Structure 1
Amino acid sequence: MSRRPVRPAPRSRLTTWLATVGAATALALGLAGTSAAAADGPNPPVWPTTSGPAAVIGGLVHPDASPPGANDWQCKPTAAHPRPVVLLHATWTNAYTNWAGLSPLLKRDGYCVFAPNYGGQPGVPFKGTQHIPDSAREIARYVDRVLKATGARQVDLVGHSQGGGLMPRWYLRFEGGTDPAKPARNKVRRLIGLAPSNHGAGASGLGDLSTALGLNPTMSLVMGQAYADQMPGSRVNTTLDRDGDTQPGVDYTTIVTRLDEVVTPYPNQFLKAGPGARVRNILLQEICPQDLSEHLSIAYDSNALQLVFNALDPAHAEPVNCRLSLPLLGG
C-alpha cells in the first residue's frame, strides 16, 4: 500500500475547504459530549483532516480529544513497523488540532500511533505552554507508558515546532530518553521535527525584540513559560546547545520551510550531528519549489508528510509528488 498522503477527489480548493470544515465541525460536536478521559482511547475511524483550519475547529470544541487513529492502547507493533510513533504537538495547540491529518494516515499504514496532550490543563485548547523541562518530564512518563503497553523497545518521535525541537531534545538529554553510555538502550530511535524550534524562535522579529527589551518574563505571564523558553538565548536553549545538538544513537530529521514566520531565521531549525548521531536537514522548497507552507500549515502539507513517512521508514522511501500547499490551509 502506498504511504503517500492522499487528497480528496478533485474539486475547487474553496469547496474542499468548506466541506472539510463542515465535516470537522460535525465530528467535533459529536466528540463534545464525551468526557476528557475518553480521549485516552481510540477514536472511531474517520477520514484524514486535510485542512489546518478544520482541525482547529475540532481542537477548540473538544481540546482533549485524540486525533483519529491515535491512542489505541491495545495496538501491538508489527515487524514492518516495530516502533510506535509518538506525535508531539506544538505550543498553544493540542493533539487533535496538530495531528488530525497525519495520525490516521500513519494508522492506515500499520503504525501504532500515540498523541499526548502535554504542557496544559484539561479542557483548555491551548496546551504546550508550560516550562519545557516540565513538559519533557511529562513526555518521559508518557513514552514509558507507550513502551510498556506495546512491548516495544523504542519509539519514534514526530513533533511540530516545540514538539519537534527543544522539548523532545530536552527529554532525550536530561529525562532518560537516551543512554549515551549505551545507545542501544535508548528509548527513542528517531526524532523527526516539522518546523522545529531548535535554536530560538525569533517570530519574524517579535521574539528578538521582546528578548532585547527584557519582556520575555512579562510575555510569558500571558503566553506561558514555553514562550520565553523558546526565545533566542533562553536558559533552555543555552543549556541544550552547550553540549551539542544531538544524542548518540538517535537519527534526527528536520523538515523546514523557508517561509516560516515563527522559528526565524529558518536555519535556526537545523541541527548539527554530534558523535554517534545522524542528522538530515531538509528544506522543503529545495524539493518542492512551489510549496508555500509556513509554520502553521506544514503539519497539513502533503509534501512534508511524505517526508515524514520517508524518515520513519527510509528503506521504503517514496519520491515526493510535489503538490501546491498554501499558507494556513496546507494541501
Structure 2
Amino acid sequence: METTTGDAPFSVDLSALESAVYCPNGIRKAAGGVVLLVHGTGSTGYESWANGPYGVYLPWAAPGFDVCWVDLPRNSLIDAQVSAEYIAYNIPLLAAKSSTGKVSIIGHSQGAGLNPQWALDFWPSIRQYVSDYIALAGDFHGTLEGPVSCLSQDLLHSGCYPSVAQQTAGSKYLEAQNERGGSALVTTTSIYTRYDDVIQPEVVNPTSVLPGAANLALQDPAYTQTLTCVVLCTKLITLLFSSTLQPMLSHMTLSLMTDRLQPLVLTRSNIAVLL
C-alpha cells in the first residue's frame, strides 16, 4: 500500500507492518465485518485479547465478527508514533477483506487514547475505512501517573520508555496529537472507570473524555460486582441505551483497573444477553 497524499510517510518496512496483525480464526467475511484489537502498554495482542470475550466470544456473537489483533513492537513501549504506523497501514488492508468494507477498532489504554487517534490524525485517508472506534480507558490527554512510572524506569532501566513519557500529561506528543486530533475523527465511543489505577485523572477533567465522542463513565459504587470490560461493538453501543439493558447496567460496575487488560468476568450466557 502506497502512502496517500496528505498522509504521513511510513518509517517501518511495510512487510513488518503487515505481518504484525494476526487473525486467530482468519477472515471469513463475517457479517459484522473486521474488528481490530489494539493492546495497551506493556502487553501483547495475545496477552490482552486471546482469552477474553473479544477473542473467544466476539467472533461467534451475532451477526459474527472477524477478530484480528495487532502486536505492537516491544510491548508497545517504543515511540508511540511508530506504533501508530502499524494501525494506519493495516486499516485499509483489513477493510479490503472485511464484509462491510470497513473496520471497527477496539483499543485499551495507550492502544485506545494514543495509537489509533494518532493514526487517524496523521493518516487521514484511513478514516473512510473505520466504521467505529471504541476506546477503553483511553488516555487521550495523558496520565498524571506518568512521572511516577518514569521515575521507577529511570532507576531500573536507566531511562523512561518512550511511550510512557509520551503518555505523561503535558507531553509534547500529546500536545501534537491534540492540536490536530483533539476531537473525535470518526464515530468514537470512550468508556472508562473513575477509579483506574493508572489512567488518571478520571473524576475532574477526565483524560478519557474526547470531545465529539460518546463518553461513558460506567461506575456504580453501591455494587461490588466488577467487570474488567464488556463486549463492545457498534451493536452493543446502540444497545447500551436501550430499556432492556438499563436494569442490567444499573447492577454492574465497569472497572479497567490496570494498564494490562485482564481476562474478563463474563460467561457465554452473559454475552448472549448483552448482544
Quote the residue 1:98 is aligned against.
48
Quote the residue 1:165 is aligned against.
113
1:268 to 202, 207, 210: 207
The answer to which structure has the higher strand fraction is 2
Task: Give the Cα–Cα distance (whole angstroms) in 2 for the partners of residues 291 and 244 of structure 1.
Answer: 36
Task: Give the Cα–Cα distance (whole angstroms) in 2 for the partners of residues 251 and 192 of structure 1.
Answer: 9
Residues 285 and 291 in structure 1, CA contact (< 8 A), matched pair in contact too: no
Deviations 1:30-81 (A, max 9, x none): xxxxxxxxxx8xxxxxxxxxxxxxxxxxxxxxxx996xxx433331031xx2
Task: Give the Cα–Cα distance (whole angstroms) in 2 for the partners of residues 200 and 311 of structure 1.
Answer: 29
Q: Map 1:231-250 to 2 at 5 A.
A: 231-248=168-185, 250=186
Quote the residue 2:230 is aligned against.
305
What is the aligned-residue RMSD (CA, Å)?
3.3
What is the CA distance between 1:259 and its match in structure 2? 1.1
Quote the residue 2:223 is aligned against.
290
How many residues align structurally?
230
Structure 1 residues 309 and 210: alpha-carbon distance in aligned structure 2, compared to 1, 3 A threshold:
closer
Task: State whether structure 2 residue 57 is matched by structure 1 residue 118.
Answer: no
- Output the amino acid matched with 2:135: G
What is the CA distance between 1:258 and its match in structure 2? 1.1
1:188 to 130, 145, 150: 130
What is the CA distance between 1:176 and its match in structure 2? 3.9
1:133 to 43, 66, 81: 81
Unaligned runs of 5+ in 1: 1-39, 41-63, 121-126, 180-185, 274-278, 294-299
- Output the amino acid matched with 1:226: S
Deviations 1:193-218 (A, max 9, x none): 11111111112xxx24578x8x9888
Task: Give the Cα–Cα distance (whole angstroms) in 2 for the partners of residues 200 and 76 of structure 1.
Answer: 37
What is the CA distance between 1:251 and its match in structure 2? 1.3
Q: Map 1:1-331 to 2 at 5 A.
A: 70-78=23-31, 81=32, 83-99=33-49, 100-101=51-52, 102-109=54-61, 110-120=64-74, 127-150=75-98, 152-176=100-124, 178=126, 186-203=128-145, 207-208=146-147, 224-248=161-185, 250-266=186-202, 267-273=206-212, 279-285=213-219, 289-290=222-223, 301=228, 304-306=229-231, 308-309=232-233, 314=238, 319=245, 321=248, 322-323=251-252, 331=265
The answer to which structure has the higher helix fraction is 1
Q: What is the TM-score normalised by the length of structure 2?
A: 0.71
Bigger drift between 99-108 and 153-162 goes to: 99-108
Task: Give the Cα–Cα distance (whole angstroms) in 2 for the partners of residues 188 and 178 of structure 1.
Answer: 7
Structure 1 residues 114 and 230: alpha-carbon distance in aligned structure 2, compared to 1, 3 A threshold:
same
What is the CA distance between 1:140 and its match in structure 2? 1.7
Q: What is the TM-score normalised by the length of structure 1?
A: 0.60
Task: Give the Cα–Cα distance (whole angstroms) in 2 for the partners of residues 251 and 280 of structure 1.
Answer: 9
Residues 218 and 254 in structure 2, CA contact (< 8 A), matched pair in contact too: no
Deviations 1:166-196 (A, max 9, x none): 11000001024545xxxxxx12121111111
Q: Secondary structure at the match of 1:75?
A: coil
Unaligned runs of 5+ in 2: 1-18, 266-275
What is the CA distance between 1:103 and its match in structure 2? 1.8
Residues 133 and 188 in structure 2, CA contact (< 8 A), matched pair in contact too: yes
Bigger drift between 216-225 and 84-93 goes to: 216-225
What is the CA distance between 1:223 and its match in structure 2? 5.5
